[in-house]
Amino acid sequence: MANKQYFGTDGIRGRVGHGAITPDFMLKLGWAAGKVFEKEGHRGKVLIGKDTRISGYMFESALEAGLSAAGVDVCLLGPMPTPAIAYLVRTFRAIAGIVISASHNPHYDNGIKFFGPDGTKLDDSVELAIEEYLGAPLVVVESELLGKATRISDAAGRYVEFCKSTVPSSMSLAGLKIVLDCAHGATYHVAPAVFEELGADIHVLGASPDGLNINRNSGSTSPESLSKAVVEFGADLGIAFDGDGDRVVMVDHLGEIVDGDELLFIIAKSRQKAGRLNGGVVGTLMTNFGVEMAFKNIGIPFERANVGDRYVMESLVRNGWVLGGEGSGHIVCRDNTSTGDGIVSALQVMIAIFESGSSLHELKKHMVKVPQRMVNVKVSGKVNPLDVEEIAQAVVNSEKRFGSSGRVLLRSSGTEPVIRVMAEGEDSVLVGEIVDYLAGVVKGALS
C-alpha cells in the first residue's frame, strides 16, 4: 500500500497557517473527501463538528465550501466533543463525519479527523483515495447539484441523552459532589448537563472558552488545578476532559490523580464482577506493567497494541473484546460507542463506584502502578533499534535481569529523531540501572 502524505495515525494535524492546516488546503480537502464519498454511490450528508479553538470557524467554512462544490450536503454541529460526532454520524445515517480539532494541543494547532458511516475512523484505503483527489484539479459540480448546508441546533441535547443512556436508569449521582474540568474545550456545554441531570452536585472549571484558552493549564493534560479544587470544595471526586473530549483523567477526594491506566482497570474489574466484561482488555506498549500484573492476578486476559487509539480499536475488533485504552485517558468501550469517549468512560467509572459502594480512592488501590522511567536518545535518522544486533542483545540481557518482575521497551518516535528507551518494574533501582544501560548502548550504536 502506498504511503500517505497527509494523514497520520489520527487524521491530519499541525500548526495553523502552516503545511496542510490552511484554509485553501481545507477547501480542497472538503472537495476531495466529498468526491470519495460521492464516488461510493452516496449523495448523503456529511456532519462537521469542531472544538472551541478560534481557527475552527475558518476551517469549518472552508470544508463546507469544498463539500458543497463536490455535491455533498453538509450538517453543521458547532462545538461538539469528537465522540459526539462519531455518535451523531450513526444516528443521522450520514455518510461521514468530520471533526475540526487538535485534541489536547494548544490553540495555535488544529487538525481534521474523519469518521465513516459506522462512527469509526476511516480505513487506510479511503484516506489514500482522498489523497489522490487532493492531487487532482478541483472541478465544481453543476449548480443544481451543489450541496446544501444546514445547522443542527439540537446536537448537544441529543448527545447528552446518549451519554445518560449508557448508565443504568436506576443509577443516580445524588449526594455526590463532583468537580468537572472541561479544558475550555468541546465538552464545556455538554459534560455539566450530563452530570447535573444525573443528580450530581457539580462545580465546573474550564467552561469559558474564548478560542485561545483551550487546554491552557487545564483539562486532562494539566489536572493539578482540578486536584486543588477537589480538596478546596470537599468534593468526592473530580473529572477532567481534554480539549475535544475523547480523553478523561480523574481525581479522588484526596486530590490524587487517577490516570487512564487506573481507570481502565477500575472499569474492567467492575464489569468482570457484574459479568459484563465480554472477553479481555487491550492496552498499549506504554501501559504500565502494574496494570498487566493486576489483570493477571484477577484472571482478565490482557493484550498490548501499538500506541494510538486506532491500534487499540483494531486489537479489540480482532479479539471480539469491548474494552481498551491508554494511560492518557483515551478509553474505548465498544459496547457503548465506536470511539474513545471521555464522558462515557467517566460514567463507566461512576457505575463502578455506584455498584461497589466504594470511593474512587478505594477502587484505585486494587491496582498499583510500578516504577517507570523513560529517556529519549537522539539519533541521526529513523531506524528500528531492535534491528541493530548490539541493541537487541542488550534488550535480551535486560529482560533476563528483570525476569517476570518488569519489562523494557525501545521504540522509534513517530514525530522526532529519537529512540524512546523505557523500563518499568517492581524494583525502582533496577529500573533506573537498566534504562541507563540501554540508553548508553543505543547512544553508542546509533548516535
Alpha-carbon torsion (188, 189, 194, 197), positive or negative = positive
User: Please, are residues 99 and 40 in contact by the beta-carbon 8 Å criterion?
Assistant: no
At residue 18, what is the residue type?
A: H
Q: What is the DSSP letter of 8?
A: B
Provide φ and ψ at 179, rounded to 5°: -100, 130
User: Please, are residues 330 and 319 in contact by the beta-carbon 8 Å criterion?
Assistant: no
User: Please, are residues 408 and 398 in contact by the beta-carbon 8 Å criterion?
Assistant: yes
CB atoms near residue 369 (< 10 Å): 19
The stretches of 172-259 forming alpha helices (DSSP H) are 191-197, 224-233
Biggest CA pair distance of the chain: 71
Per DSSP, what are the bridge partners of residue 282? 303, 324
Q: How far apart are CA 17 and CA 12, in angstroms?
A: 13
In angstroms and rounded to an integer, the radius of gyration of the C-alpha atoms of the chain is 23
Nearest to 288 by CA among 250, 319, 259: 259
Catalytic residue check, 103: yes
Axis-axis angle for helices 342-356, 260-274 (nearest 10): 50
Cβ neighbours of residue 343 closer than 8 Å, sequence gap 6 or more: 81, 83, 163, 187, 190, 191, 194, 241, 245, 248
Q: Which residues of 239-256 are buried (b: 16+ CB within 10 A; e: fewer)?
A: bbbbbbbbbbbbbbbebe
Q: Which of 103, 218, 220, 227 is catalytic?
A: 103
Rounded to the nearest 10°, the torsion over CA 62, 68, 74, 79 is 10
- List the grid coordinates of 176: 455526590
Q: Is 275 exposed, middle or buried (0-12, 13-18, 19+ CB in 10 A)?
A: exposed
Q: How far apart are CA 286 and CA 377, in angstroms?
A: 17
What are the catalytic residues? 103
